[in-house]
Amino acid sequence: MAFNIGIGVCLAVGVMIRLSLFRTDITLWFSDRGEISNALTSWRKVVEGIALSDNDISPYSGDLFHETPIMLRVFKMVTKMMPNKLHYFFVLLDIINGLIIASIGKHFSHYLLRKQLSDVKKYAVGVEKLILRKDDVDMIQLSMVATHFLNPYSIAICLGKSTAVINNLFIYLTFMFMLKGNVLMCMATIALATYQSLYPIMLLAPAVIYFNSKVHLGKSYKESEFLSQCSFTTTIGMAMIGCLYGLSYFMEGSFKFLHATTGFILGVPDLTPNLGVFWYFFTEMFEHFRPFFICVFQINAFLYTVPLAIKLRDHPVFLAYVLVTLMSIFKSYPSYADVAVFITLLPMWKHVFSYMRNTFIVANMFLVCTVLSPILWHLWIYAGSANANFYFAIALTFSTAQIFLVTDLLFAYLRREFDLTNGLVHKLDNGKDAQVMLD
Amino acid sequence: MGLLSNPQSRQKLVDAVTKYNNILCALCYVVGVVWFLALAYPPLNARTYFSENALLPGVVHSGFSFDDVPEEFISEFKEELKKEKRNVPRNWVYERFREIGLETYIQNYTVKYPLHLVRGQIVPGQNVYSILRARRSASTEAVVLSVPIRSKSSDLPPTYGGIVLMLGLAKYFSRQPYWSKDIIFLVTDHEQIGMQAWLDGYHHVYSEYIRPGDMPGKSGPIQAAINLEIPSGNIKYFNVKIEGLNGQLPNLDLVNLVVRLCQKHDAEIMLHNNKDAPHWSAETVAGYQQSLKTMIKMMWAQASGLPSGNHGLFHRYHIEAITLEGIRKKKSGQISLVTTGRIIEGIYRSLNNLLERFHQSFFFYILPGTQRYVSIGLYMIPFAIISIALWVSLGQEEKSSKKSDDVKNKSDDTSVVKDKADDKDKTTDKDKATTKDTEGDSSEAVSGDKLNVDSLNKLMDEEDDFDMEDKPQGVLTILPLLLSSCIMAILCYTGPDILAGMAVPFKMNIEDGLFYGFLALFTASLLFPRMVARRTAEDNRLLFDWALLKTITLIFQSLVLFSLALLNISLAFFLAVLFVPVSVIVHPSKNKLSRWSQKFLLLLISPLSILFTAAIISIMDKDNGGILGLLYNGWSTLSHGLLLSMVDKYFFGSWLFALFSFAVLPNWLTLWGISFCEAV
């Protein structure tokens, strides 16, 4: 009960902050920030695209509009319905996101306890301190909702009217349906997210593993059928993605949109500075190396799915989380919207925080980068005294901070698992204290 | 990554930092400050050089001379000035430019003073400018030569020489065939306000307070600008003024260019009336003192965030600009207006050669002399070392917060009891779980036995309120202090508008109204720890998780200092020198002496005392008549300066006031709160 009141308070405070900030000029500033609205997420581009399509010009014929055909129609409907109250639409989306996150929190805590129950036979004696209690998992839900409504990144993307909020919605939904155990809806949301920003296709891996895992299936789990079941589920997901593209084809009457959406994500033609690593590298590069390095960079973005899926095959939800974070680091047009997702979902792993070692450093890196990036942008673009290297240095530091966070979390998670199975006290054969190291 | 992932070496490092914390902090601070000041010593900085090859300074022969007799012009101009005491003879200037045969325009603008300073009245003004169209290009680029025109009643030294020189140069330049950039001759009224109006008009920027009129004639983007403050002849030496609005500096190449050309014509050039240390004695103590004095003066001017001349407003528009000021000495002044003209001709010939905007060389630098510079790479290291002291002291906070936790637990009897009960529960559970395994903790048990489902279920249901009780308390206790310092900051920022609105019906002088309003706010903030204490605790004792608050304060402070170092290194340095030691020292203590000395130190670095000290230092050069006179004048300068910084905020977008109200004040308030916290 107390937790429900807490969630309600967070929601009210979050909505109040958003609505009151929408009345100030700060929204304009946010919507101009390169870290919040880039070519894929800028609301201004959406408005342009709607105007073009209202005048019967295909918005995809130029190099302006990069939303998908379905989203174009959704946004069109929304702008027709509430032309002057658009900010309510974004606040509403944030409220929906918050409710989904509350649901994720609830189901995830059940999932954790269920998983603990099924794994208990593996646990060593003397690990009582590590065992999750009902109170611990109840806190997860509240802290996730609080993080969503109060963290500055979520507030900033809402105020900046970043269209990535919708993409985030699908990612949250993926988590929710996955934990609820709804295969079809989960695949559908992955398909929608993939259709929007391509990279979430990686989430197929954890989802497929989850739905065919022992925890989910219970007694009907058969080791021998694992692979065939997996491929079946994958096929469902891929078919849904295909359907969405087919639907878009019928809406647009041509495949022109592919070049402006998925092609735009893969080819990285827009090199406006953001907090990613692509723009700097590709502005410096000779044109004839470009295709090769684009392949390298994009493969790099997707590559981690395979080793992580093998390593974390027993922990699909954690795998999904790590992949979401990696997406934010390596995608071609990252923005604070991606950061908001993994920061919001971070409290899911509250129980491994005590194993994390670099929290202080990572938190400070995030803080410094967030504050310095607009300053260096100002010095570079307006004052003309700094240059691109200054801004890129901060972008690189920001990526490093994210990598530190995800590796630290990964190490902490695995270390906790190790301790659960091997006990808290580690001794060498000769009786000395051993130190567990990760190299 | 080795340091981060290897737990052993990492632990060693953390231990070392916590153990030698105080020494490390002090060491960082002293080393940082000494190193920073030592940068003025020639072997530690570098000689300036031309990075932009296209400038080709001084390779052409200067041929400037006056066609007319300049003295006649000057006396004519003086007569015009006498005719109207308050106004300036714009029309005379306008006519002269027309006679030369240049496109000449008058730009009208109006100024609405903020804060009801001039009630209901809108002050008009006019700028005169004329454009010399380049013969070799299509007005795609321009350079500006500007002179402020000052009325007879102005306190500042007159600029007759500048105006006459500009007219002479305009005539001479218009006959030359080699210009590839338009040259705009600009005469501005009302000092910086006129300049701002002209720049706003040129770039189509409209603000609420300075409303520029339409500009009938324009040229291309402006590449560079020189502002002249030249008296009528007998110039002893020149000052090159570089500091712009908010501490922005022009490209070092432009400064070098001006310095080089002055040297070519044997004109002495200085920074803030300070001679360069002569090169033969530069490495002696006297030479170092000379350089240090110049550097401190330059940093002082930069730290103020005020433009030191009209050039300072150009920087905002990405235009490199400096002011060349001539200092007149009636008897010993040797430099004539013709020589000055030749210098300026040389500068413009060089600017004419530019192929791109200034982009090479340095934008972030400190000058310990006209020919030496300290670049960002050199000064950032000592600055970082000073600020690192803040981070090092964070290690101590961690330790002390752990300690205070322990203390709290011991004093809290009930929690101890609960703790014991908890422990008992745990041990019984363990006994159940490990019925067959009596030697529980031995090494064999680690791998052998596994938990079973029953005990797990029990563990999961177990009430574990011990952990939760402790943590949120920490954040909640400091919340009142954080919130009230935020509120103070907002009050301070929005105060001027409210105060000025209130001063009008009371028939108060706006300046006094604002000043006393701020004094009241400051007094209120002095008392706020008491107020917080009265609200939160029964016995008026202020108790909170001070270590957490201090951690937040220190992180915030280092963040502010580092961001400021990128924008205005001088201001960041001075603030760091003042704030870092006190922030590190402040902690609750039982010793009365240490409490009061902490409070005294904090009062010394309070925003009011900082501003008062700054005001006193800025009027130190003038004759004030004794210490009391100095203090009194400092006081009035402070109240005047506060008003001016407010006006600057509205007119030019200076962020000094915002910085003080949103960064310095709340930071100081939290420290002040910590000094009031009861030691446990």
DSSP codes joined into one string, B289-345: HHHHHHHHHHHHHHHT-S-SSGGGGGGGGT-EEEEEEEEE-TTT--B-HHHHHHHHH
Chain position carrying tokens 């003066």: B297
State the Rg of chain B over Cα: 32
Residues forming a β-bridge with B124: B110
The Cα B145–Cα B168 span in angstroms is 12
Chain B partners within 8 Å of A375 (Cβ): 563, 566-567
Q: If you count residue pairs, one on A and one on B, with CB atoms under 8 Å apart, how many are there?
A: 124
Could you tell me which residues come within 8 angstroms of residue A160 by beta carbon, excluding any fewer than 6 positions away?
A27, A30, A31, A33, A36, A37, A43
* Helix B160-174 with B90-100: angle, nearest 10 deg: 20
Residue B10: closest CA among chain A residues belongs to which residue?
A357
- The answer to whether position A72 is within a domain reads yes
Average confidence (pLDDT) over B624-632: 79
In whole angstroms, give the CA distance from residue B546 to residue B670: 10
| Least confident window among A428-437, B53-62, B111-120 | A428-437
- Considering its fold, how many domains does chain A have in total? 1
Q: Which residues of B touch A386 (CB under 8 A)?
A: 363-364, 566
Q: CB of B10 within 8 Å of any CB in chain A? A: yes
- A307 to chain B, any CB pair closer than 8 A? The answer is no
Contact by Cβ (8 Å): B57, B263? no
Closest to A133 (Cβ–Cβ): which among B10, B464, B562?
B464
| Strand order, beta sheet including B365-369 | B46-47, B372-375, B365-369
Q: Where are the alpha helices (DSSP H) in B412-464?
A: 413-433, 443-448, 453-461
Q: Which of residues 216-275 of B touch A (CB under 8 A)?
A: 248-249
**Mean of pLDDT over chain A:** 88
Please give the Cα distance from B347 to B144 (Å, whole number): 12
Q: Lowest mean pLDDT: which of A88-102, A425-439, B491-505?
A: A425-439
Q: Which residues between 101 and 160 in chain A have a beta carbon less than 8 angstroms from any beta carbon of chain B?
A: 113, 116-117, 120-128, 131-136, 139
Percent of chain B predicted with pLDDT > 70: 84
User: Once rounded to an integer, what is the mean pLDDT over residues B386-415?
Assistant: 58
Return phi, psi of residue B458, to 5°: -65, -45
A21 domain residue, yes or no: yes
B430 touches chain A (CB under 8 A): yes
Interface of B with A in 106-125 (CB under 8 A): none
Could you tell me which of A254, A45, A243 has the C-alpha nearest to residue A160?
A45
Model confidence at B437, in pLDDT bands (50, 70, 90)? Answer: very low
Q: Determine whether the interchain pair B567/A379 forms a contact, defined as Cβ–Cβ distance below 8 Å.
A: yes
Q: Which segment of B54-68, B245-259, B623-637 scores lowest on mean pLDDT?
A: B623-637
Q: Is A429 part of a structural domain of the chain?
A: no
Q: How many angstroms away from the CA of B318 is the closest CA of chain A?
A: 5
* Residue A20 at interface with chain B, using a CB cutoff of 8 Å: no
For A132, nearest residue in chain B (alpha carbons): B460
Q: pLDDT tens for residues A382-439? A: 888 888 999 999 999 999 999 999 999 999 999 888 888 887 777 666 766 666 665 5
CA distance A288 to chain B (A): 28
Q: Is B177 on the interface with A (CB under 8 A)?
A: no
CA–CA distance, A169 with A95 (Å, rounded to integer): 10
**Whose CA is closest to B22, among B495, B564, B559, B587?**
B587
In contact, A40 and A266? CB cutoff 8 Å = no
Apex CA B47: angle with CA B45 and CA B51, to 5°?
A: 120
Asked if the Cβ–Cβ distance from B7 to A136 is below 8 Å, we say no
pLDDT of B450 strictly over 60: no
- Cβ-contact B609, B664 below 8 angstroms: no
What number of residues does chain A have? 439
Beta carbons of B461 and A133 less than 8 Å apart: yes
* Chain A residues with beta carbon closer than 8 angstroms to that of B464: 133, 135-136
**Which strands, in side-by-side order, build the sheet including B269-270?**
B210-212, B103-112, B122-132, B182-188, B142-148, B222-229, B320-328, B235-241, B269-270
pLDDT digits (tens, 9 = 90+) for B337-355: 899 999 999 999 999 999 8
Give the rounded percent of residues in chain A with a pLDDT score beyond 90: 55
Question: What pLDDT was estimated at residue A438?
Answer: 57
Neighbour tally for B56: CB within 10 Å: 15
Beta bridge partner(s), residue B109: B125, B212
By C-alpha distance, the chain B residue nearest A424 is B446
Flag whether residue B566 sits within 8 Å of chain A, measured between CB atoms: yes
Residue with tokens 């052409």: B60
Q: Is B184 helix (H, G, I), strand (E, B) or coil?
A: strand
B616 CB-near residues (< 8 Å, 6+ apart): B630, B631, B634, B637
Q: Which residue has the higher pLDDT, B7 or A41?
A: A41
| Residues B595, B596, B599: CA angle, nearest 5 degrees | 90
Residue B405, pLDDT > 50, answer: no
> What token pair was written down for B497?
């508008």
Q: In this complex, which of A123, A385, A431 lies closest to B451 when CB atoms are compared?
A: A123
Confidence of residue A346 (pLDDT cuts 50, 70, 90): very high
Question: Cα(B217)–Cα(B215) distance, rounded to whole angstroms?
Answer: 6
CATH hierarchy code of domain B53-370: 3.40.630.10
Any bridge partners for residue B128, and if so which?
B106, B187
Separation CA A404–CA A429 (nearest Å): 33
Find the angle CA(A124)-CA(A129)-CA(A134) to the nearest 5 degrees.
110
- Record the tokens describing residue B56, joined without a space: 């080709």
Q: How far is A325 from B58, CA to CA, in rounded Å?
A: 58
3-state secondary structure chain A: CHHHHHHHHHHHHHHHHHHHHHCCCHHHHHHHCCCCCCCCCCHHHHHHHHHHHHCCCCCCCCCCCCCCHHHHHHHHHHHHHCCCCHHHHHHHHHHHHHHHHHHHHHHHHHHHHHHHHHHHHHCECCCHHHCCCHHHHHHHHHHHHHHHHHCHHHHHHHHCCCCHHHHHHHHHHHHHHHHHCCHHHHHHHHHHHHHHHCHHHHHHHHHHHHHCCHHHHHHHCCCCCHHHHHHHHHHHHHHHHHHHHHHHHHHHCCCHHHHHCHHHHHHCCCCCCCCCCHHHHHHHCCHHHHHHHHHHHHHHHHHCHHHHHHHCCCCHHHHHHHHHHHHHHHCCCCCHHHHHHHHHHHHHHHHHHHHCCCHHHHHHHHHHHHHHHHHHHHHHHHHCCCCHHHHHHHHHHHHHHHHHHHHHHHHHHHHHHHHHHHCCCCECCCCCECCCCCC
- The mean-pLDDT minimum among B29-43, B318-332, B427-441 falls in B427-441
Cβ–Cβ of A124/B451 closer than 8 Å?
A: yes
Among B248, B441, B559, whose Cβ lies nearest the Cβ of A368?
Answer: B559
Range of the domain at A126: 2-422
- State mean pLDDT over B438-465: 45
**Is the CB of residue B563 less than 8 Å away from at least one CB of chain A?**
yes
Point out the residue among B318, B464, B562 whose CB comes nearest to the CB of A383. Answer: B318
Q: How confident is the model at residue B366 (pLDDT cuts 50, 70, 90)?
A: very high
Substitution target in A110, A117, A125, A375 with the highest count of B β-carbons within 10 Å is A125
Residue A297: inside a domain, yes or no?
A: yes
Alpha carbon of residue A214 to chain centroid: 26
Rounded to whole angstroms, the Cα distance separating B359 from B369 reads 22
Q: A272 near A34, Cβ under 8 Å? A: yes
Give the Cα separation of B85 and B291 in Å (integer).
42
* A437/B6 Cβ within 8 A: yes
Closest C-alpha to A173, from A89, A104, A91, A74: A104
Which residue of chain A is at minimal alpha-carbon distance from B395? A360
* Res A339 pLDDT > 60: yes
- Distance, in Å, from the CA atom of A373 to the CA atom of A381, rounded to the nearest integer, reads 12
What pLDDT score does A189 carry?
A: 94
Look at A375 and B563 and tell me if their CB atoms are within 8 Å.
Answer: yes
Specify whether the CB–CB gap between A333 and A276 falls below 8 A: yes
Closest by CA position to A35, among listed A148, A197, A156: A156
Give the Cα separation of A100 and A84 in Å (integer). Answer: 27
B176 min Cα distance to partner chain A (Å): 32
Domain-located, residue A438: no
In whole angstroms, give the CA distance from residue B566 to residue B296: 18
**pLDDT at site A405:** 94
Which sequence spans correspond to the domains of chain B? 53-370, 477-676
**In terms of residues, how long is chain B?**
680
Is A433 a member of any domain?
Answer: no
- Mean pLDDT, to the nearest integer, of B581-598? 84
pLDDT band at B451 (very low <50, low <70, confident <90, very high): low
Say yes or no to pLDDT of B467 above 50: no
Is a pLDDT exceeding 60 seen at residue B538? no
Confidence of residue B425 (pLDDT cuts 50, 70, 90): very low
Task: Give dist(CA B445, CA A124) in Å, integer.
Answer: 8
Prediction ipTM score: 0.84
Residue with tokens 């004094």: B519
Question: Within an 8 Å CB–CB cutoff, is residue A3 touching chain B?
Answer: no
Give the pLDDT confidence score for residue A128 in this predicted structure. Answer: 74
Q: Please report where in the chains the tokens 């001479």 appear, as a residue.
A: B172
For B22, B24, B25, B32, B472, the CA distances from B392, given in Å and listed in that order, are 9, 7, 6, 14, 25
Q: d(Cα A94, Cα B352) in Å, to the nearest integer?
A: 56
Least-confidence region, from A301-315, B73-87, B581-595, B633-647: B73-87
Over residues A97-110, the pLDDT tens digits come to 999 999 999 999 98
Contact A117 B433 (CB under 8 A): no
Asked, for residue A145, whether it belongs to a domain, the answer is yes
For residue A123, the chain B residues in CB contact (below 8 A) are: 450-451, 456
Angle formed by the axes of helices B665-676 and B569-585, nearest 10°: 10
Cβ distance B248 to A376 less than 8 Å, yes or no, reads no
Least confident residue range of A85-94, A168-177, A223-232, B529-538: B529-538
Give per-residue pLDDT as tens, A45-75: 999 999 999 998 888 888 888 999 999 999 9
